[in-house]
Every structure is written in C-alpha cells, then in structure tokens.
Structure 1
Amino acid sequence: MSCGELRRHAAHGMCGRCWQRHPDRPFVRGETLAAALTEPPGWLGDFVAYLAARHCPARACRMIATLARLLEDEHPNHPQSVLERSRRPGRSMGSLARALEAFFTEHGLAMATDQDQRLAAGRRQKRIDATPGPMRVAVAAFAESMLHNRDRARRAGTRPRSDRTIESALTIVRDLAHFLEAQRGKQDWALVDVTDIEAFLAELPNTRARRLTVLGQFFRFARNRRVVLVDPTHGMSAKRHRGFRGRTLTITQQRDLFRRWSADPAAHPHEALFGLLAILHGVSSRELRLLQVDHIDTSDRSIRLGTRPHPVPLDPVGVPSVLRTADQIGSDWKG
C-alpha cells in the first residue's frame, strides 16, 4: 500500500495521500470516536461498517466526524434522538441523516423521518402561495380537504390520493386562478361561469379530461363551502370528437394530387396506389402497412383493408394503379 513517498504516516507506514484512500481509515476513525465517548452506543461499530461499505473513505470519515459532534453534545444518544438532530433544515436533510435513517430503520432502531411529508407540504404551500391573493383562501381550504379525505381513505383501507395527485390538482386550480385574473379580469371564484372554464380548457385541449375532473372536484367543494353559488363545471363533458383533427390539404392541392396519381405516367405506381386509396377510400396508414398482395382481388376489383368487415370496391380511377402495383410486386416476387 506504500507508494514510495519518503514522508511516511507515523502510525501506518504510508504517506498521507495513501492513507486518505486506505479502506481501513473509517474503522480507525470509528474506534477513535468510541474511545473518546464515555458511553459509546452499541450501534456505532455497525454503523461505521455500514458507511465504509457504501462510501469512499474520505466521505465516510467526514460523516463520522459530523456524527461525533452529535454524540458528544449534551443530548441523549438514543437512535431516534440522534436521527432527528442530524437532519439539516431545508429541502435536503443531509447525507448523514439519510444514512442514519436507512441504517436505523433497517435494524429496527428508529422510525423513519417525515422528510417526504415535509417536502410535500412545502410543495403544496408553494402552489397555494402562487395563487392570486383574493382566491388563495379557497385553494388552501381545498388542499386541507384533500388531505383530510386522504387520511379517511387510509383509515378505511381504500386507495388514498398520493402527494403527486394532490400537487397536480393544486397546480390546475392555481393555473385557473391566474387565467381568470390575467385574461378574464376576475378575482372572485363566485364570478366564474361556463365560458371561463371552456376558455381555460381550450388552452390545453389534450389535458381537458384531467383538468375538468379536478375543476369539478374544486367547484363542488367550493359550492359546499358557500364560496360559489353555482358549480360552473356542472354538465360539462370531457369527451372529445375522436375523428381526425390534424392538418388537411386544400381542395386545390387535393385536385392536383388526384390528377397526378390518376393521369400522370411519371408517378410511381406505389405512390399512385397509396395516394388514391387514401384520397378515395380513406385508408389509414396502419391499413396500408398491413396491406398484402393477396388482399387485392383483381377479378372482383375489390380490396380487403385492415379489419373492415367487407371487401372495398375499388373506384374505377384507382383500378389501373392497383393492377399495375399488384403485377409489379408479383413479377418482382417471381424474379
């Protein structure tokens, strides 16, 4: 383990750099700490081994040094007390607290902390504080109601809302409040009507179902609390038209393509076939991908498309391109 450095560590025959990386260093630091304590806790040795197995020697020694300051103060060294004192304020409770929590809970020495609950409470409060002032009280009451319902669900053994679900609901209500204030000039929940809700949902149509569900829950709560007299979401539906809603070609462009596919000999047969099937028979991309040569009946001049129950009669304009494509594919297969 020696690197040849002339300056040696007095006790271990190594230079300082080699000793910093030596795997026995955390155990030596733990033994030094145990010797300095009047009553070292029984779990100290196992915890040092736990740190040494999961961290580099330098990091493990830094955590042991921090633990030493906790064990040498005037507070009791009970595992639960040490765990609570090791937590840092803020979003992260610190690497030492996380290691102590994992070790103590694994060995049944202490209960887990409420760090996740604290962080979730901070996220909820952040969303409430971001709501415009006149509407904030109702949103805070709605958050408390959701937490109360979650506790009831836990006691009843049903499926309670997760922190993420509650935070998502508060985000939607907060966004609605900002929308009402900025674009509708309203700062009171009692002034909201159906047109406001529809305009808000129209901004993100892909999330209409989720947003409408949350807003329905909020306004039912608000109506029960006499915040609003009428639920503006009552009778609204989250269902949308399931047909094609993408971009389409203009009539002039469709006519130009139809002439190309039906009369231009320069058009490739495959292009003409797919184009005419799409423009005349509404064939989807999936049906085109699954199309096979034996699906084309040249004698009957029909074609079987996807899961359609009956063969589709071909339009007279599309028959030549279909026959040319079938003959070309068949000759290529034979060749």
Structure 2
Amino acid sequence: MIRSRERSRRAGTLPRTDATIEAALAIVRDLARFLAGERGKQDWALTDVHDLEAFLAGSPKARQRRLVVLGQFFRFARSQKIVLIDPARGLTSRGPSGFTGATLTLDQQRVLFRRWTTDPAVHPHEALLGMLALLHGASSREVKILQAVDLDFRTRTARLGNRPHPVPLDPPSWMAVERCLAHREDQRTDNPHVMVTRQTKSGRGPASTAYVSHVLDACGYPPRVIRCTRLLDLVNTMDPKLVAAAFGVDPEATMIYLSDRIDETRLAEWATTKG
C-alpha cells in the first residue's frame, strides 16, 4: 500500500492517506485476532470463506468496507504465496440473506426467566416486556400498545399487535401482566395501556419508543435479541408458515430463521439441547 501510494504521487493521481492505510491494517489485524481467538487458526493459509463470513457478520454495517480490504489483502497474500487460494474471491458486499443477529443461550434464557419471575426488585415493565418477548416472541411495539381491554382475565389471553388470534399466556407471563396492572393502578391513571409511565399517566397515549427501548437495560440484553431467540426456536421446531400465521406476518419474514441459514455454533448448541 505504501508503494502504491508512492506510485500515485509520481503519476499525479490521488494517493492513499495515512488514515486510509491505518484503517485497512486495523481490519486485517482484527481478522487475525478473530482467526486466532475465535476460530483457532494460526496460519493465513488455513483461512476459508466460512471464516471470512463469520468475521464479516460481526459488523454487518462495515461489511462492504471490510470486504474491500480483505480482497486487497488476500490478493496480495496469494501473489506472495502466503495462501494458495483467495478465500475472499467469491464473497459479495450484499452478504447472506439469512439471520445473522445475536441470540441467547439456554443458560442465559434461564437466568432471565428466574430474574423476571423471582426477583421482586425488578421493575414490572421490565418483567412484562421480558417475559412476553422470551416466551411469546413479542416485539417492543406489541407490548407498548397493549391495552387492558386486550386482556381476557377469564381465559388468560392477550391480543398482541396484529396477531390474528389471542395469545394464551402461561402462569409466569400472566403474573408479569398482573404486576404491571398493579403498578398501573398505583398511578391512578385513566390511560388504557398496560404499560404506563410517569410521562403518560396523565394522558391516553402509549409509552414512548425511547422509553420502551431502554426498559430491558438492567438485564443486559435488548428486546430484539430476546425476541429473535424465541423466533429462532419456534421456526426450527415448527412449520415456518404456521409461525408466520400465528404472528400475523408474511411467511418470508420467518424463513430467514431456518436452521440451514443460522450460524454453525448456534446450530451445534441447538442440536445438542434437542438431542
């Protein structure tokens, strides 16, 4: 890269800046650390396309920039006989279409379940959003707009978002609902929503998106990660079309969670628990 910059200067074209070169070297450094620490590989020649896909999946927004640098590096490495095959040659900037986000292990799910069912210090809003996301795949929006009239106290069901049928709630989830309703009653509000904050108790609107997005901060996991964990398990133990019908979404929305598109480490863990 330094030699290329010198050639650019002699030719009068735009040379690479120090920052550009340092950024490229940082990407190669990060890949080296990833290969050694996560994949157990100490030689560039052992790198394959699956290693690069796993590395790129760690920062989806930086995929295009990282891929450009990796392409340059492995072309150079092949010319120097450091590697025999360029593992970056067939990769595209678009990336895989399947799900590549983070999910929770079973142990992490158990810790959260115990937190939301046994710890009285946990805020009722956290327990409600957490339990509905963990066990019923509820989104933040579905919980945010949930109203008292959406609850059937006789059958212990709840209408969540645009789902075509009421969702039966298990005893721990219903307990979280009751805690939230008790918290709502203590505020003496006419707001119809189950989740009522200090800002919304004098009105009739739902909690703000900003508030809901931080409700689970204390547990250490965002709502999306918890919800995706549940969807992943449902799609891989049931027919994805049935899951789509139950959630009231397009069937294609659940297809990305199929096991043949999930990270291999997650697959291995899932297969072990099912065995």
Please state which band the TM-score falls in when normalised by the shorter chain.
0.3 to 0.5
Q: Using CA pairs under 8 Å that are at least 6 residues apart, name the structure with larger relative contact order, 1 or 2.
A: 2
Using the size of structure 1 for normalisation, the TM-score is 0.35
The structure having more radius of gyration, on CA atoms, is: 1
